[in-house]
A = this chain, B = another copy of it.
């Protein structure tokens, strides 16, 4: 036998680029964390130490900052990612595929004397908007998303009628707190969309559904949220969600002679439940390279 090189890729991670748009009052800004991953003809670098095909990751960094001057692409993570991915593949011969992953941190406009201020902001922490764009010279996959969207229902959630075995000690709950920090990613059928409008409609569908349904389990909640997102945006092919179950345990105050009818809870850290699932149109094509499998870890 001999060792051989398998799949490989490289790039620059966590490029923190902030772009100010100051042509007109009021100012706006976009605040990104961009990562670049390139695959292609890089065997010689690994096997022979020959770097002639290797675009330095420092160049990838410079490129991200350089392209951020372009007003036409920088204001939406999907269009910024598209411009970058196309550049790396179309302009650099050894690069066969590029994936650009972006996080966008939203900022809120501050007020001064009761009126919106033209150039002062506070960072909103209610969610991070994400996107990833993959391009192989022919096909393009655009995925939008959200992470760190922490939501909670104080009622309208149950977990009953589950499978039991010798290790089961959990009691069924007819009424419990349901809390999760949603990570969702959705793959678009097209690459020429109004990205802001699409993002807003999917986010609204997720939140409206989370609020409005009775949950029999976090699995059902995930399904209903995904189904609502597909209904809200007909140009989304598939949505994948990760929903950790942030347990809120009713604290046992009876030991101290105190009644606790659904009032006081312990918000536990670890371990936590984890519910993951995909919701897709029944006529959607195979997702191909849309979602990042990484190297398998």
Contacts and interface: CB of A to CB of B under 8 A. Distances in A.
Interface string A235-264: 000101110110010010101111110111
Given A17-B267, A53-B163, A125-B148, 12 more contacts: A3-B227, A4-B282, A13-B272, A15-B270, A48-B220, A57-B273, A62-B169, A112-B211, A112-B212, A119-B153, A124-B124, A185-B296
A271 B126 contact: no
A267 B46 contact: no
Contact of A278 (B7, B91, B163): B7
A274 interface: yes
Contacts of A155: 22, 27, 119
A120 interface: yes
A6 B280 contact: yes
Given A169-B255, A219-B42, A280 B4 contact: yes
Interface string A150-164: 111111100111111
Chain copies in the assembled complex:
4
A269 B269 contact: yes
Contacts of A117: 211-212
A166 to B, nearest CB: 6
Contact of A151 (B122, B126, B217, B273): B122
Cβ-closest 3 pairs across A and B: A125-B125, A291-B296, A49-B216
A223 interface: yes
A171 B285 CA distance: 45
B220 A164 contact: no
A196 interface: no
A209 to B, nearest CB: 9
B220 A295 contact: no
Contacts of A174: none
A81 to B, nearest CB: 15
A129 interface: no
Interface string A56-99: 11110111011011000000000000000000000110100000
A99 to B, nearest CB: 11
A50 interface: yes
Could you say which of A211, A215, A258, A265 has the most chain B C-beta atoms within 10 Å of its C-beta?
A211
